[in-house]
Amino acid sequence: MIKKLGLGTWSWGNKLFWNYSTSSNNDLFETFKEALKRGYCLIDTADSYGTGRLNGQSEILLGEFLSQISKYQKNKIQIATKLAPYPWRIGRRGFDRPYSNSLERLNRNLDVVQLHWSTERYNPYQEIQLLNNLCDLNEKGFKFKIGLSNVGPKKLLELIDLLSKRNRKIYSVQVQFSLLAPDLEKQKKIKEICNKYNIAFLAYSPLSFGLLCKNPYENQVVNKSFLRNAIFNIYEKSTFELRLALLEIANKRSVSQAQVAINWCCFQGAIPIVGLRKKEQVIDIAGVFNWDLSPNEFSHLNDLSLKINKRLPSNPFNSK
């Protein structure tokens, strides 16, 4: 099995959910360098990452880090961002300035541009205009691949057809995909479409905000944000049996629970986008390159996952 890993940077600048502080920037740089060293294939960010006055901080940090490495190192990894289809970003020029701003923040290192979410629920025509906008930018000489995020199987097929009429293809699709993700059957339909059209299937939140890493027997209070504490409290009991199974496999394999949860994604051909802030975390997750879940282990985790009725909430802008 050929495995690929991506590094997620949502937490780089997010104070509300991840307690970001500028004092952690050195740790983030070490995280970035270790990801390159360990064979991560992609670094994923977004123009909306960063709370309040820190809006865009994730891209800014990544751009600064990229300026401090060699061209050889940069060529080993792809840089992907997501442009937010805010209601005021409309028409065939709606992404012109956001794209230019992201390109500048990223020190002109940008390989994949993704539509951050579907606009089907509030302006069905907007995403069509914005994707045409990205095709227009390609035709003007800006070289990047086009990706999608938070899209359903029906809409994915429509957008594949849309881009084909512009002689463009969708390079990647990014969805919430983990043992606790909502609509798993829907996500697996997306994976089937991706397989058919040779589209990279990216799994975001593969560790369910860190919940799948939590030892089922440990109840100590961890220094988390109010929102993350709330999520842990809501799902603590309902996920106990699943987390126990993760721990048992981890102990048997002499690996971490996180590696087991990530390998569940890899087993299905997904590229997990793992949000990390420490060098040690990067090293640990890279351990998935060294082993595979057995079919029985995968089936057992799958069965336990499907028994959990209370799953994580889905993105409110997901399309059908």
Alpha-carbon Rg for the chain, nearest whole angstrom, is 19
3-state DSSP assignment of residue 210: helix
Per-residue pLDDT reduced to its tens digit, 58-100: 999 999 999 999 999 999 999 999 999 999 999 999 999 999 9
Per-residue pLDDT reduced to its tens digit, 115-134: 999 999 999 999 999 999 99
Q: Scanning the structure block, which residue is given the tokens 């060293």?
A: 37
* Interval 245-274 mean pLDDT: 98
The β-bridge partners of 271 are 202
Element containing residue 127 per DSSP (H, E): helix 124-139
pTM attached to this predicted model: 0.95
Q: For residue 112, give every residue at least 6 positions away whose Cβ sits within 8 Å of its Cβ, in sequence order, or none.
A: 42, 78, 79, 80, 81, 144, 145, 146, 147, 171, 172
Q: Which of 40, 49, 204, 235 is catalytic?
A: 49
Active site residue 171: no
CA–CA gap between residue 204 and residue 317 (Å, rounded) = 15
Tell which phi-psi region holds residue 213, choosing left (phi > 0), alpha (psi between -120 and 50) or beta: alpha
Mean pLDDT for all residues in the chain: 94
Q: In residues, how long is the chain? A: 320
The DSSP string of 251-306 is HHHTS-HHHHHHHHHHHTT-EEEEE--SHHHHHHHGGGGG----HHHHHHHHHHHH
- 241: nearest Cα among 164, 305, 149: 305
Q: Which band of pLDDT confidence, cut at 50, 70 and 90, is reported for residue 223? A: low
Residue ranges and CATH numbers for the domains of the chain are: 6-307 (3.20.20.100)
Per-residue pLDDT reduced to its tens digit, 270-315: 999 999 999 999 999 999 999 999 999 999 999 999 999 888 888 8
- 246: nearest Cα among 312, 201, 180, 182: 180
Q: Scanning the structure block, which residue is given the tokens 């040779």?
A: 198
